[in-house]
Amino acid sequence: MEVVIVPDAKAGGELIAGAMAQLLLDKPTALLGVATGSTPLPIYQALAAQVAAGAVDVSRARIAQLDEYVGLPAEHPESYRSVLRREVLEPLGIGMDAFFGPDGTAEDVRGACEAYDRALAEAGGVDLQLLGIGTDGHIGFNEPCSSLASRTRIKTLTEQTRVDNARFFDGDIGQVPHHVITQGIGTILEARHLVLLATGEGKADAVAATVEGPVAAVCPASALQLHAHATVVVDEGAAAKLKHADYFRHTFVNKPAWQGI
């Protein structure tokens, strides 16, 4: 995998938005897999700025969701469908008709998961999947010990993840659902390009395990080592525990500009 160390979150957002803009130039109908959480916001802001400046056309782009809470109605402000509408689709001017996501309120959860995997495949697969990383190494909501071959399915959140996400629910952990639907690790690995952004020292252990640890289900993000085109973008804080940081810096500085990420 390629590791890019950037000075701060804004620079990471701009780098990744640039890669998305290039993808959209090459393939205007690209299916972009997007992630929720605080970390990817600078990506969406940078991409929206490019759209506003007329530098990139997203009118034919399609957006796919990574994970969703089970039981929150779609119109709940913290359902990930609502969050993505607010933070990604509306700022980019993309309509919900171009949105792919699992139904978190389906009575037949298993059927909804299978239907979502089928919908992604029928749409031609995800071209570029954005990922955040949990302090416990999760990607999507694939918590530690998730099967590295897993498909979209229901998962139970760890207590740590519910604590981490309580900030979106007025700090009240009681409001954070216990269950989620998440693209599986096997599903995520089918995207053509994986781009993980991590910022802040709180992510340094998870990033080191992802990049320099063994491929192991206990750190789900380490599955990125199995992907032919995975890019991990980290700020100085998140890079703090990387033993190969100097090599990663050297490689990026000396990279031919045409190569992109």
Per annotation, catalytic residue among 103, 127, 138, 193: 138
**Contact stretch for ligand PGA (CB under 6 A) within 44-52, 106-114, 129-137, 145-153:** 129-137
**Contact stretch for ligand PGA (CB under 6 A) within 33-41, 46-54, 148-156, 225-233:** 33-41
Helix H segments across 123-202? 159-165, 185-188
Question: Least Å distance between CB 24 and ligand PGA?
Answer: 23
Q: Is 57 a catalytic residue?
A: no
The letter for the amino acid at 142 is: N
- Helices then strands, each counted (H, E), the chain: 9, 10
| Contact status: 38 vs ligand PGA (CB under 6 A) | yes
Question: Least Å distance between CB 211 and ligand PGA?
Answer: 16
| Contact status: 156 vs ligand PGA (CB under 6 A) | no
Question: Least Å distance between CB 245 and ligand PGA?
Answer: 21
CB 66 within 8 A of CB 155: no
The letter for the amino acid at 245 is: A
Q: Of 14, 13, 1, whose CA–CA distance to 247 is shortest?
A: 1
Per annotation, catalytic residue among 103, 117, 127, 136: 136
| Contact status: 144 vs ligand PGA (CB under 6 A) | no
Q: Of 242, 176, 162, 217, whose CA–CA distance to 1 is shortest?
A: 242
Q: Which two tokens stand for residue 198?
A: 């991590």
Which one of residues 1, 2, 27, 37 is an interface residue with ligand PGA (CB under 6 A)?
37
CB 23 within 8 A of CB 59: no
Q: Which two tokens stand for residue 169?
A: 């629910």
Residue of closest CB approach to ligand PGA: 37
| Contact status: 133 vs ligand PGA (CB under 6 A) | yes
CB closer to ligand PGA, 33 vs 132:
132
Per DSSP, which regions of the chain are E strands?
A: 2-6, 31-34, 62-65, 67-69, 99-100, 128-131, 153-156, 179-182, 193-198, 230-235
The letter for the amino acid at 135 is: T
Question: Least Å distance between CB 15 and ligand PGA?
Answer: 17
Q: Is 205 a catalytic residue?
A: no
Distance CA 188, CA 125 (A): 10
Distance CA 250, CA 224 (A): 21
**Contact stretch for ligand PGA (CB under 6 A) within 8-16, 25-33, 36-44, 72-80:** 36-44
CB closer to ligand PGA, 116 vs 141:
141
CB closer to ligand PGA, 56 vs 129:
129
Per annotation, catalytic residue among 67, 87, 103, 235: 67
Q: Is 138 a catalytic residue?
A: yes
Q: Is 67 a catalytic residue?
A: yes
Question: Least Å distance between CB 132 and ligand PGA?
Answer: 3
Tokens 């952004």, located at residue: 197
Stated as kind and residue range, the H or E segment containing 81 is: helix 80-84
Footprint on this chain of ligand PGA (rule: CB under 6 A): 37-39, 132-134
Which residues carry out catalysis?
Answer: 67, 136, 138, 143
